[in-house]
Structure 1
């Protein structure tokens, strides 16, 4: 079978759903292509052809990067996209995301290949002031074609909020199925040896409690909010339990200069802070395993699943998408309520909920999200 994935942005060293699906699909004897852009701005890095080649060797996937005609917000119109797909002559095309320029294929005659789409957008992230107008236009020009034709065989929602977003776009429930965010158990697991190694590297003591943020440093994810949470903690708690903050990830320079660093300067005398560079996805289990608690203060994140699989309680905002992902919903705090987040952090520490031995039930609760199950579902669809 010949399969083409199309994703506007792609980082071969990351752990997004597209990376996971391509890695998990290696066991099948398919000819697989990934078509993407040359734009790496969402990852705060430049293209690395070496990283692309390493990914190709690892997965057997051919990575094709295209120039773009233009970009509107985060939506990219890739040059010669449809011509290249037709030239490959695939059996299945999986276009990741929806409500972007790839939907222009709806105005072409039905292709011989099957087309699958998915939706990563949730209400948490869909706050553009023009969204109501956008929904109306999508319903009129795109959803009507999707619903009355077979040009899109299936549209996957990655969660309940994504499902509601598709409904808001006017897409019929008959066209929608679920393919939830997950993890690869061969990549993400509690790694006890690496826990000791990483903690020694950062010079953490045995009883230190490491509270980590692992992800992008930008205006959307706002890791600086951890400093606000710490400011709400009892200082005796910090000293008694030797709480440390660990930050890892790619950094937007403007955000760091204008928001993160000024806040850090005001609090660094109160708590030990370690900041490190981004790590490849294959290394991240080492850092989740070395951490005791993870906080993702804004929006939602696939990292929340990875952190829990590695035995970390996760604290996040109380959104329905996060209720799906965070096993203990008592660890969700109301929007912008850092005092509430601090109370949750205090409870987790004082009740010893952070100890790895107390969190094996989390791993069991997430087992249905393991990517082999997701691939099996896709294979069923591909073969129909």
Structure 2
């Protein structure tokens, strides 16, 4: 196999995280490719950055220049223009940097924004093989208002028709992203192949020893049935809805506990803590801040059930790798996460369905264990970064027209 030079281009990069951009290039390197990353000189401008990520990452603005993460060389370029409301950037010196790296293929992360336009225009001159991936789903463009619809119509009618011959493949992360590309951008089926998100099985795995020790550290009893909800917390993740739904459940199941690991805006977290306090759930619902991955694994090992009733998150795959059954929303954006029927799906915002799913798992230890084994098997078979990297190489070869 030729050792292809793969240039990943993306708006933002946060080192030592569990995202696609952290693991896919690193696993590609282990498989013999030469990946390289170009990104901006800053972290993403997420809402309430100072409250949520600054305590962990520090300043959002970083220095331009080169560094390594997971063994992959990364070049941060200065930003010419940034739209913090849509996380779009234009990069200074991108054309020269691409020429210097001279990749066999460009992997552009994203299908909209300034950087996408910049790469498409540059590549109209360079004519390099181009693969794009897309995390854009109907759920994460909400509210899909007139302004957004108008923007995507411009992409559909003006931008992509001009550049479609320069794009070999687009890789949506799930079925919802694929349908969005077909319906909203008129991308033909022949150019679309799903490449799902995965997890790092060397960091996230089940350990009975760790489970016993960490449950003891958290003050949990051996008979407690523990659920976990983790990640960046917001109404889109349905965190408040989850806590509100549990107000009457604890009296029926005294051994049931909920761990909330992560953070959101101060106002949002205060509102959830208020619900907990007002309903005397302070000895049932426990809050923990963002945790490093090796500590987050311990939380998953201490738990018995993972619950994400709203927008999906990469934390779901991490929990599955630790052998947790999952409760997720019944939608095409979670189809790949429940491919082995390793969880229970519930209609978004349906309190009765959510409580029924939780009750079923709390009452049935064997069901929890069976679904947890299926979660682990799905990760081992498909949703791990090594398998996904191997699949990406196959897709690159197709894009290059090589066997």
Please report the TM-score for the alignment, with normalisation by the length of structure 1. Answer: 0.88
Alignment RMSD: 2.8
Contact 2:326 2:342 in 1 (8 A): no
Once the two structures are superposed, the pairs formed by residues 29-68 of structure 1 within 5 Å of their partners are: 30-42=34-46, 44-46=52-54, 47-48=57-58, 56=68, 58-64=70-76, 66-68=78-80
| Aligned residue in 2 for 1:138 | 155
Contact 2:156 2:186 in 1 (8 A): yes
| Aligned residue in 2 for 1:167 | 182
Contact 1:68 1:76 in 2 (8 A): no
CA distance in 2, matches of 1:218, 1:81: 36
Alpha carbons of structure 1 residues 270 and 361: separation in structure 2 relative to 1, 3 Å: same
Contact 2:276 2:282 in 1 (8 A): no
Shift of 1:164: 0.3
Contact 1:288 1:312 in 2 (8 A): yes
CA distance in 1, matches of 2:310, 2:145: 19
CA distance in 2, matches of 1:210, 1:272: 10
| Aligned residue in 2 for 1:102 | 115
CA distance in 2, matches of 1:362, 1:59: 29
CA distance in 2, matches of 1:268, 1:359: 31
CA deviations on 1:140-183 (whole Å, 9 max, x unpaired) are 12221243x1x222110111111101102111222212211222
Contact 1:157 1:176 in 2 (8 A): yes
Shift of 1:72: 5.5
Shift of 1:92: 2.4
User: How many pairs are equivalent?
Assistant: 377
Shift of 1:318: 1.4
Uncovered stretches (5+) of structure 2, i.e. residues with no partner? none
CA distance in 1, matches of 2:80, 2:107: 19
Which of residues 374, 380, 383 is equivalent to 2:394?
A: 380
| Aligned residue in 2 for 1:361 | 374
Once the two structures are superposed, the pairs formed by residues 196-275 of structure 1 within 5 Å of their partners are: 196-233=212-249, 235-237=251-253, 239=254, 242-257=255-270, 259-269=271-281, 271-275=283-287
Identify which range, 261-270 or 180-189, moves more after superposition.
261-270
Once the two structures are superposed, the pairs formed by residues 298-313 of structure 1 within 5 Å of their partners are: 298-313=310-325
Alpha carbons of structure 1 residues 41 and 134: separation in structure 2 relative to 1, 3 Å: closer
Which of residues 384, 390, 394 is equivalent to 1:370?
A: 384
Query: Is the partner of 1:14 in helix, strand or coil?
Result: coil
CA deviations on 1:316-359 (whole Å, 9 max, x unpaired) are 22111113312437711112112210111001111225644663
CA deviations on 1:78-131 (whole Å, 9 max, x unpaired) are 331633333433332211121222221333424243221111111222222124
Contact 1:106 1:142 in 2 (8 A): no
Query: Is the partner of 1:117 in helix, strand or coil?
Result: strand
| Aligned residue in 2 for 1:352 | 365
CA distance in 1, matches of 2:27, 2:36: 12
CA distance in 1, matches of 2:162, 2:383: 32
Which of residues 123, 126, 138 is equivalent to 1:111?
A: 126
Identify which range, 7-16 or 286-295, moves more after superposition.
7-16
Contact 2:243 2:272 in 1 (8 A): no
Query: Is the partner of 2:237 in helix, strand or coil?
Result: coil
Please report the TM-score for the alignment, with normalisation by the length of structure 2. Answer: 0.84
CA distance in 1, matches of 2:77, 2:214: 35
Alpha carbons of structure 1 residues 185 and 173: separation in structure 2 relative to 1, 3 Å: same
| Aligned residue in 1 for 2:106 | 93
Uncovered stretches (5+) of structure 1, i.e. residues with no partner? none
CA distance in 2, matches of 1:68, 1:167: 31
